Structure 1
């Protein structure tokens, strides 16, 4: 036997779901966005996990920097399993024509690769591509290098001073993702060729990696422990940690896109609230009849709760289907073009999470109207009064619990709960402010209408009415505009930072591996190529060395006790320099720079962010492991280092006497035009072929292109929230359609023309769009500014064109909504419309 409430609910649903179309659309849209973000991220995670061994190049990876593995270490590692050796360095490639280009040079042993395959065009295998023929080694090179140097397969070119022949085009390396970002095209050759070319000399910035394939059934943890006993000062990763940076980026992007979907659910919540309220208003006679016949309020609530619950489940299912299908469609379109392996399929957990978000959102926004219908007496219902005040009851308590659950689920499932809490709090505050603004706009319209005439007076009167679109649609539209505005403003500021500000403030060229004993000759060569005298505002050179902070105030550093975001300078080698006179734009925050001719005990200038990680103050002693020995230096200066700017961008700077006697290589930075860049690159090939020339301009152009691609996806996701706002606007128009028809009929009878009625409605909704758009832009500004200035530490710039487009779009779409409402109202003749009531 079916409960009475379910029987009544089933009978009413036989009429269809016409009144719940906006309800279903709002729920489905938000759920689809969350499900699509989670499913896509899971596809990338599964792709990484499924190819983890190939991405790492084995089961274990052990790396050393600026030194080779010793014979004892090699023997110990080879006892653990099959080993493939690889060395990596940066070098300048030069074509016979004189064209030069920085490349990522890599030499591999005969066992490479242990896992996966190397994609080659023009050679059958790696061994065939790198084999020595006629006394010249071969190499597999990326097509970009051939294009840049105007080479073809079979041509000979120089890498440093070592001649090689391009025998194959390098299409794919299985372990490329695990090695991170590359500054230039890749050149793959044999380990012996790199050794012969002198790229592994002491002091040069190279790295050697051993990739180990463990015997079947061997434990990863046992293997890592064994590596720790064999090699010291190493970095060890296993196949479960093949690409940690990419995995972290996927987590953060998933949450950000999912958060936009959640904001769409919140914005669409007004549509849910309005749809339920409008449906219950249509059902007022049935509710009044039931109550007059003795039905209790709980029965009435349960009847409509069952209907809303069933339709909410339907909306969630529609959203889940769309969200699950979206990644599959993406995979079918761009699977072969993705830089990250992805395994597109239907994954349960992202769908379960999206369903939970959808159901909680439906409960949070639909229970309040049910509480009002339950508590309204039959007499009020027969008088068509369903606008009584909300009272505390089980429905309100349930809505509050659902809202808290919605926020808690967002925080618990986020990769960084604190950031999630701040974002949820920001959306809640923004929603509250927009709601208050809508009410304030309605009150202001009521006061202003007395001084207005004609269509404007009618529009203001409608804005001030109890069913004003300023109250119902403005918060949702404003939240959608706020999200879009935040994305647009963040994107425009960061893009301007990369494409305009950075090229002006950053060096155009970076020179590395400058021989210290020929530094003066190098300066003269650069000056000749530039055709101008070198000055400190366009050219800087300094010694370069890398080392590790091994102790603070006499205590060894334990990187595990330092927050992960600040650990970078303590668990890896960092760049250092030895500078006498205070450099330009030194950024001193505390302390005083030493005299240019200082020759006493070692002093240190330290970046304030590095110092903050271990609470270092001026006067503290820092132990540095540099060039195989420990140096105790007293902190004399704390400085703010602007990494990437034109200056001494070293986290640590020592006094020159601390490294006296060491044969240090130098680095130099320069500002140059594109023509000067090409001239100096060619000129250095004659006398300084081992000096690497890094074009910052090219890297910025690549960053701009990558940023544009990511921003496109984020803008598309943010547009979902704006679409939710438009759905709410459509819901508000649909809910008031019957009342608008009667209102238009009365205005016609009183002598209003069609043009006046059309103008009144367009003004009403257009003003709602302007108010919501302006508030949304202001909230977007408030959200974007701290992200740009505090998080990314970039220069703020206002995208006035984007802001104007958002404001105009909000006003135009809202005005079109008013136009549609007016045409609906004017579509019926006055007499039938007035007799309908």
Structure 2
């Protein structure tokens, strides 16, 4: 009842998997990488989903910026269920000793928190921690603020001009993730503290959020629709539990795909190992195949017998990879679960494992069927002559291999966050593989020509490199792809790190000052100049009015944000930062039109960022209408400019002439360049006369960004190293596949008088050249892939980590050369006579 092919396969499998160790390792490595990336991402998704209500702080959250909710809006929201109110702003916290630090000040009211629990240390409850007493507001503060201001619980400090007592250490807030990045330590207090301090005045940068626990039976989607119906045309942001932390969710999706794609690239790189392992195994089974064919076995029987074996071993390799990929996140969760900034539920999730298994099985099919086609189509006479190198004929095996390759690409596209990104990555890997294969072929041809002028061990090494089974053809594409992925990651990381640690400190301001009263601006200039110890100049100091508004009309017609491209509507469906400047600021980067004269007093003009202009096809001379604090201002576009946000300059998407906002009482912002000592002096100098002015240290934010990026980059580098490891496995497979030939070759060379040193040198030269060629090609491909990501996507300065590049090149050549030593010692381990008689 059992098919003959299955019986033959079972008998051969009894001998074990000795010839398929590289096959198993290559498959298991790629599958484990994909499974681990998917399982870890799913753990974070499930963690977010399980705590979505706590992360949002309720069932629905409604937020407004730069204003409070109106009485009508409060009435509608309170009619939906229980409501908690929260306002957020920034303030300078100052201790009695004069230490100052920017903090994220948050005031709450109503039934806060509606969902989840505020975790505190040092106070029995949130009400006890926030209770006003003796003219000071109670607060829960992060430990970082206590450390920075040298405070202990029970001590007082001022937030702006509001006295506050630190009564508890703030450990966790249920809705912290939904609020995003913070510029300073968090301070949680009552809403009355911010009202008393004047933080909630129109025009200042604050926001208010209402979180709603809906009445029983009311669905969040229905509640959101009802709020929009009852409050039409209002500028607010509304979210439900499904959108509790959109930025975090998007980051998890993108990181999963990037790490999973590296795992897929490892599978592709290891595909050559699969191909080589299957070819070597069939090479060793030539006598059995020839005998079966001579006895009348059809090609289909031969194919099926070995196809069953390969399928069983492929399933074993995939299973090993799945086990490793499933266990690795569980181990990670046990080690760092309490330190993760995002909730995670580490468990075994079937879907990521199924996806990884599909990738592994498709990869095995794509790379193992061609050798089977060759074995099926080769006649018995050729097999008895030890000839298994004939051309592969078009047949069912090749069709199946092509379908498997297409399935790999399709699965990568379907599971990607964006099909376009997947298509670009797949095309890039395919092109890189093609280039690396062509370079390996060209290197073999070049070695064949160069050996004519070489002598001794060099000639032997070049001859081996030019041979029909040269490692330049089999291993260099896989090694090059692994090195290319590592080089791409290293070059992107080095450029972005240079951006935040070197370029940004030189081009960005060191300090940002906000909430400067317009009537005291000149006084603040004088205080800052004294603290700096030098007069202020346009090269180190820039102050300007600050307000926000929204472009509501273009060329006299109302703007419909939904009609604009999604990526270019940000300036039309949200309030954006604006200013009013007379003289042309430093480095205006005008791309069309020109700046107005310093004393211009005519109709309002505007300088618009070219990205904003692109969204509505604005040109110089067009009219725009901007709504600012309920008032519409019409201006003509005088200039288009390229705004580099974060650089030292007028980094506002829209800048007006001062006449456009004449008479308005606008707060101002300022930026300054300074060293660390000057930073500390100016922060202390502003404590007495300007407690309400916030000072943001850009240097501190850059250092925090560098630390975060380093931690993320370490994980990405580790994933990219998996692809490089796959290349080394392919090299090991190439060495193992030619072990018998190498032994016979070394025996012949010794009989002809070659010394051990010459044989060792020949093999090290051969494999070292393979590593050097593959490493150089991989670094070049990594450069080509990294440059557009750095310059076009991140819009950062290109910076090459030459030490990292040199290390990659040296490692590729060194490890390949070490493989040559292993091959040489293995070949030299037998005496010549037994080796020559073995055939």
Q: CA deviation at 1:582?
A: 1.5
Partners of 2:632 and 2:673 lie apart in 1 by 36
The aligned counterpart of 1:366 is 368
The aligned counterpart of 1:715 is 717
The aligned counterpart of 2:8 is 8
The aligned counterpart of 1:751 is 753
Work out whether residues 514 and 691 of structure 1, in 8 Å CA contact, stay in contact via their aligned partners in 2: yes
The aligned counterpart of 2:290 is 288
Which string of whole-angstrom CA distances, capped at 9 and with x for unpartnered residues, describes residues 435-494 of structure 1?
Answer: 111111111111111111111111111101111111111110010000000000110011
Find out whether 1:92 has 2:88 as its counterpart.
no
Partners of 2:726 and 2:114 lie apart in 1 by 50
Work out whether residues 77 and 230 of structure 1, in 8 Å CA contact, stay in contact via their aligned partners in 2: no
Which string of whole-angstrom CA distances, capped at 9 and with x for unpartnered residues, describes residues 409-453 of structure 1?
Answer: 111110011111111101000001101111111111111111111
Find out whether 1:48 has 2:48 as its counterpart.
yes
Which string of whole-angstrom CA distances, capped at 9 and with x for unpartnered residues, describes residues 12-41 of structure 1?
Answer: 111111111100100010011001101111
Find out whether 1:665 has 2:667 as its counterpart.
yes
Kindly report which structure 2 residues correspond to 1:48-447, keeping only aligned pairs within 5 A, or say none.
48-231=48-231, 232-447=234-449
Which shifted more, 579-588 or 731-740? 579-588
Partners of 1:555 and 1:178 lie apart in 2 by 36
Which string of whole-angstrom CA distances, capped at 9 and with x for unpartnered residues, describes residues 211-236 of structure 1?
Answer: 00001221112211222245421111
Partners of 2:6 and 2:634 lie apart in 1 by 79
Q: CA deviation at 1:310?
A: 1.2
Work out whether residues 745 and 831 of structure 1, in 8 Å CA contact, stay in contact via their aligned partners in 2: yes
The aligned counterpart of 1:448 is 450
Aligned partner of 2:684 among 662, 682, 685: 682
Partners of 1:595 and 1:20 lie apart in 2 by 78
Unaligned runs of 5+ residues in structure 2 are none
Partners of 1:27 and 1:551 lie apart in 2 by 58
Find out whether 1:622 has 2:644 as its counterpart.
no
Partners of 1:2 and 1:699 lie apart in 2 by 69
Work out whether residues 136 and 163 of structure 1, in 8 Å CA contact, stay in contact via their aligned partners in 2: yes
Q: CA deviation at 1:599?
A: 2.5
Work out whether residues 56 and 175 of structure 1, in 8 Å CA contact, stay in contact via their aligned partners in 2: yes
Q: CA deviation at 1:509?
A: 0.1
Work out whether residues 110 and 127 of structure 1, in 8 Å CA contact, stay in contact via their aligned partners in 2: no
Partners of 2:624 and 2:252 lie apart in 1 by 36
1:380 alignment partner, SS class: helix
Work out whether residues 434 and 775 of structure 1, in 8 Å CA contact, stay in contact via their aligned partners in 2: yes
Partners of 1:275 and 1:314 lie apart in 2 by 15
Change (3 A) 1:230 1:162: farther
The aligned counterpart of 1:822 is 824
Work out whether residues 602 and 634 of structure 1, in 8 Å CA contact, stay in contact via their aligned partners in 2: yes
Which string of whole-angstrom CA distances, capped at 9 and with x for unpartnered residues, describes residues 617-646 of structure 1?
Answer: 222222211111122222221110010000
Partners of 2:357 and 2:566 lie apart in 1 by 33
Which shifted more, 569-578 or 205-214? 569-578
Change (3 A) 1:230 1:598: farther
Partners of 2:827 and 2:262 lie apart in 1 by 35
Work out whether residues 601 and 658 of structure 1, in 8 Å CA contact, stay in contact via their aligned partners in 2: yes
Work out whether residues 541 and 670 of structure 2, in 8 Å CA contact, stay in contact via their aligned partners in 1: yes
Which string of whole-angstrom CA distances, capped at 9 and with x for unpartnered residues, describes residues 41-75 of structure 1?
Answer: 11111111111110010011111111111222212
Kindly report which structure 2 residues correspond to 1:494-643, keeping only aligned pairs within 5 A, or say none.
494-643=496-645
Q: CA deviation at 1:663?
A: 0.3
Partners of 2:71 and 2:230 lie apart in 1 by 11
Partners of 1:631 and 1:80 lie apart in 2 by 36
Partners of 2:657 and 2:671 lie apart in 1 by 20
Q: CA deviation at 1:655?
A: 1.5
Q: CA deviation at 1:387?
A: 0.4
Partners of 1:713 and 1:612 lie apart in 2 by 37
Partners of 2:560 and 2:256 lie apart in 1 by 32
Which string of whole-angstrom CA distances, capped at 9 and with x for unpartnered residues, describes residues 66-101 of structure 1?
Answer: 111122221221110000000000001000011111
1:615 alignment partner, SS class: coil
Which shifted more, 384-393 or 267-276? 384-393
2:569 alignment partner, SS class: helix
Work out whether residues 135 and 163 of structure 2, in 8 Å CA contact, stay in contact via their aligned partners in 1: no
Partners of 1:343 and 1:510 lie apart in 2 by 40
Which string of whole-angstrom CA distances, capped at 9 and with x for unpartnered residues, describes residues 161-218 of structure 1?
Answer: 1111110011111101110110111111011121112111222111111100001221
Unaligned runs of 5+ residues in structure 1 are none
CA RMSD after TM alignment:
1.0
1:455 alignment partner, SS class: helix
Which string of whole-angstrom CA distances, capped at 9 and with x for unpartnered residues, describes residues 545-598 of structure 1?
Answer: 011122333333333333333332222211000112221111111112122222
Q: CA deviation at 1:366?
A: 0.6
The aligned counterpart of 2:465 is 463
Partners of 1:98 and 1:256 lie apart in 2 by 47
2:342 alignment partner, SS class: coil
Q: CA deviation at 1:395?
A: 1.2
2:687 alignment partner, SS class: helix
Partners of 1:557 and 1:254 lie apart in 2 by 37
TM-score (norm 1): 0.99
Change (3 A) 1:558 1:42: farther
Partners of 1:200 and 1:74 lie apart in 2 by 17
Partners of 1:160 and 1:201 lie apart in 2 by 14
Find out whether 1:833 has 2:835 as its counterpart.
yes
1:760 alignment partner, SS class: helix
Partners of 1:611 and 1:256 lie apart in 2 by 32
Partners of 1:389 and 1:437 lie apart in 2 by 22
Which string of whole-angstrom CA distances, capped at 9 and with x for unpartnered residues, describes residues 597-616 of structure 1?
Answer: 22232222111111112222
Q: CA deviation at 1:117?
A: 0.5
2:570 alignment partner, SS class: helix
Partners of 2:602 and 2:373 lie apart in 1 by 80
Which string of whole-angstrom CA distances, capped at 9 and with x for unpartnered residues, describes residues 640-689 of structure 1?
Answer: 00100000000111121111111011100000111111111111111111
1:685 alignment partner, SS class: coil
Partners of 2:614 and 2:324 lie apart in 1 by 47
Partners of 1:309 and 1:63 lie apart in 2 by 56
Work out whether residues 83 and 110 of structure 2, in 8 Å CA contact, stay in contact via their aligned partners in 1: no
Which shifted more, 71-80 or 779-788? 71-80
Q: CA deviation at 1:800?
A: 0.7
Partners of 2:587 and 2:682 lie apart in 1 by 26
Aligned partner of 1:695 among 676, 684, 697: 697
Which shifted more, 288-297 or 256-265? 288-297
Which shifted more, 128-137 or 100-109? 128-137
Partners of 2:184 and 2:227 lie apart in 1 by 32
